[in-house]
Structure formats: structure tokens, C-alpha cells
């Protein structure tokens, strides 16, 4: 587990958060579109979705645009990022559908089995403690739900893949498709 200083460096705050907020609009919109499309294809009507390490909330905005029946939450340990996400969701008139909270993946402020899908984009390489983060995401996922991790090839930590494989039974973990030029995807299905 990283020390406090390392952990703090993984949380994007202040000018870094503002820079990232602007950058995503230009360079990552393809990823949000692809990820939202794939996740929503398998999410039933009225489904609840959690975005882990939501940053400026671009994935939630994309989800909100595509499906007005979906509700859920987004978490990030950076208060600045949660501020950017609030602003973007409000501009998309979707702030009443997604509960945004300041929290890390390792300690999710939600009840067991409270989401139908748990998703992250470009965040898994920031998780301070992959075992705790994966354990928490599995805990809040309902039986029959899906956990999706999208991250950049090369930076996605093998510890996250190892933890997912250890926590979900054989056959429940797959790498169905690669999205975009530089992203990897792991999908896990929690048995119903």
C-alpha cells in the first residue's frame, strides 16, 4: 500500500484538476462514448450505475444524455474534481439523477449490492490499494451486476486485473473488446 504522500499525488486537485477537466473534452470523448455505449447495452431499464474516480464526470454526462431512466452515483477523492463533475452534470440537467460524493475507491459510502453496474474510466491506475478498491466495488455491486474497468494500455495496473480475477470466479472475468486506440477493458459479472 502506498504511503500518504504517494496517495495524495494520485488525487488530481486544483490546477491539475482544472487542466484535466479541459483536456478530457478534447481528447477523451471517444472513450466516454464507447464506454457508455458498451455499459448501457447491458444495463436494464431503471438501472443504477456507479462511476468510480469520476473526475469531471464526463462518463456520467454521456450516460445521462443517452438514457434518462438511469440513475446512480459518482465518487472521487478530489473535491475539485467533484466540483467539475457537479457543474457538468448541472449543465446537462442531470445533477438530480447522480449523487456525487468525495470518496476513494477503497472506501465506498454505499450499501452492499446497491448498483447494477460499477464502471471506471482512466482511474484504476490511480487506486491507492487495488485489493481494497476491487473488494469495495464487488461489495456494492448487486448479484447479477457488471463491473467494468476501462484504462490505458500500459498504465492499467496488473494488480487490478489480478484482484478482479481472484475475486470473481472463473468465467466471470472477460476482456470482450478493446475500445479506441489506447484503452483496455475488463468486465466482471457477479453471479446472480
Query: Residue numbers of the site for ligand SAM (CB under 6 A)?
Result: 10-12, 24, 28, 52-55, 58-59, 76-78, 81, 104-106, 121-123, 126-128
Whose Cβ is closer to ligand SAM: residue 28's or residue 43's?
A: 28
Whose Cβ is closer to ligand SAM: residue 146's or residue 183's?
A: 183
Exposed e or buried b for every residue in 136-159, given b needs 16+ CB within 10 A?
A: bbbebbbeebbbbbbbbeeebeeb
Whose Cβ is closer to ligand SAM: residue 38's or residue 54's?
A: 54
Whose Cβ is closer to ligand SAM: residue 102's or residue 172's?
A: 102
Whose Cβ is closer to ligand SAM: residue 76's or residue 163's?
A: 76
Ranked by CB distance to ligand SAM, the top (closest) residue is 55
Task: Compute the least distance from the CB of residue 188 to ligand SAM, in Å.
Answer: 17
Task: Compute the least distance from the CB of residue 53 to ligand SAM, in Å.
Answer: 3
- Name the residue among 147, 143, 153 with its Cα closest to residue 134: 147
What is residue 44's DSSP assignment? P
Residue 10's Cα: distance from chain center in Å? 15
Task: Compute the least distance from the CB of residue 14 to ligand SAM, in Å.
Answer: 11
Sign of CA dihedral 109, 115, 120, 125: positive
CA atoms within 13 A on the CB side of 27: 11
Task: Compute the least distance from the CB of residue 35 to ligand SAM, in Å.
Answer: 8
CA distance 161 to 156: 8
Tell me how crowded residue 170 is: count the other CB atoms within 10 A of its CB.
Answer: 6
Task: Compute the least distance from the CB of residue 41 to ligand SAM, in Å.
Answer: 19
Amino acid at each position: 500500500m502506498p504511503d500518504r504522500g504517494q496517495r495524495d499525488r494520485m488525487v488530481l486537485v486544483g490546477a491539475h484538476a482544472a487542466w484535466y477537466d479541459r483536456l478530457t473534452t478534447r481528447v477523451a470523448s471517444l472513450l466516454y462514448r464507447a464506454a457508455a455505449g458498451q455499459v448501457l447495452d447491458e444495463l436494464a431499464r431503471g438501472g443504477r450505475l456507479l462511476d468510480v474516480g469520476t473526475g469531471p464526470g464526463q462518463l456520467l454526462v454521456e450516460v445521462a444524455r443517452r438514457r434518462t431512466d438511469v440513475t446512480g452515483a459518482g465518487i472521487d477523492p478530489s473535491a475539485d474534481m467533484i466540483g467539475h463533475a457537479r457543474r457538468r452534470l448541472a449543465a446537462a440537467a442531470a445533477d438530480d439523477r447522480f449523487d456525487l460524493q468525495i470518496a476513494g475507491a477503497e472506501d465506498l459510502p454505499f450499501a452492499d449490492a446497491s448498483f447494477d453496474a460499477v464502471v471506471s474510466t482512466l482511474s484504476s491506475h490511480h487506486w491507492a490499494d487495488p485489493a481494497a478498491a476491487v473488494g469495495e466495488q464487488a461489495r456494492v455491486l448487486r448479484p447479477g451486476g457488471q463491473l467494468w474497468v476501462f484504462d490505458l494500455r500500459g498504465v492499467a495496473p496488473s494488480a487490478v486485473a489480478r484482484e478482479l480475477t481472484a475475486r470473481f470466479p472463473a468465467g466471470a472475468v472477460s476482456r470482450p473488446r478493446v475500445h479506441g486506440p489506447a484503452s483496455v477493458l475488463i468486465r466482471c459479472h457477479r453471479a446472480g
